Amino acid sequence: MYDVAVIGAGPAGASAALFTAKAGKKTLLLDNDQSITKRALIRNHYGVEEIGGPELVETGIRQAVGCGAELIRDKAVDIVRSGEGFEIRTENGSFSARHVILATGLWTDLAEKIGLKTKPATEPRIKTIIETDGQGRTNIPGIWAAGTVAGVSVHTIITAGDGAKVAVNVVSELNGERYVDHDILQPKE
Ligand SMILES: Cc1cc2nc3c(=O)[nH]c(=O)nc-3n(C[C@H](O)[C@H](O)[C@H](O)COP(=O)(O)OP(=O)(O)OC[C@H]3O[C@@H](n4cnc5c(N)ncnc54)[C@H](O)[C@@H]3O)c2cc1C
């Protein structure tokens, strides 16, 4: 069983998986490669002067996998409660996880199918979003939402940030105390 399954590997999902995997949580990253970010040329992502969407998405996935996340290219089609967590059913198999983070971008079909509360979006060109408490929690305990699908402003720095925020909340819940992930720059020899 995974500690965390992240559905969607765009900026929100890969950023979340990077944090949960780096925190030592067994992390599954499920994605069916339809990220809208791949159409973007990004010049407004703090700390990165200019980057193409495909390169940003690939780099994010590489970072998450580099920290131990397991990437599976597949489409999640259903999520059912099972034992202490959830069974995530995909087009080609199924996986189990204690917590699930939905970072599915424009897509709310899975959220609606499993009974997550959704509402009309307020961001331009976005139709429907998953209702959250602002910290990523949805109406189903253990299922979280991050990024575009959770209603944040549709910009990579914000969706990636939201994925990280929700991941820190999930790790903190698993650890029973607030989690911080800081690495320290070592002085040059
Ligand atoms: C043309 C264009 C230009 C843009 N330009 C900029 C810009 O200059 N600067 C900027 O900051 N932002 C820009 N953006 C917005 C940016 O792409 C988004 O803000 C954002 O980063 C979306 O991130 P996300 O992770 O929420 O969604 P996405 O990147 O769309 O990722 C969602 C992922 O979830 C996967 N998924 C969905 N459902 C399932 C399922 N059931 N099972 C498995 N996987 C699933 C999809 O395949 C996808 O990979 C632009 C967007 C577009 C379309």
Give the distance (Å) from ligand 1 centre to CA of residue 2: 24
Q: Which atom of ligand 1 is nearest to the CA of 53?
A: 17
Q: Identify any residues that bridge with 101 across adjacent strands, giving them in sequence order.
A: 6, 144
Give the distance (Å) from ligand 1 centre to CA of residue 105: 5
Q: Which atom of ligand 1 is nearest to the CA of 90?
A: 42
Q: Token digits for 96?
A: 């189990």
Query: Quick one: which of 172, 176, 187, 188 has its CA closest to 19?
Result: 172
Q: What pLDDT, on a 0 to 100 scale, did the predictor assign at position 145?
A: 98
Would you place residue 105 in the very low, low, confident or very high pLDDT band (cuts 50, 70, 90)?
Answer: very high
- Quick check: helix, strand or coil at residue 58? helix
- Testing ligand 1's pocket by substitution, the residue of 34, 37, 71, 91 carrying the most ligand atoms inside 8 A of its CB is 37
Whether the per-residue pLDDT at 189 is higher than 90: the answer is no
Q: What is the mean pLDDT of residues 24-44?
A: 98
Quote the pTM value. 0.98
Q: Are 61 and 160 in contact (CB under 8 A)?
A: no
Q: What pLDDT, on a 0 to 100 scale, did the predictor assign at position 183?
A: 97
Ligand 1 cavity residues, CB under 6 Å: 7-13, 30-37, 39-40, 42, 44-45, 75-76, 103-105, 107, 110, 147-148, 154-157, 159
Q: What is the mean pLDDT of residues 66-94?
A: 98
Ordered domains of the chain (ranges, CATH): 2-175 (3.50.50.60)
Give the distance (Å) from ligand 1 centre to CA of residue 152: 12
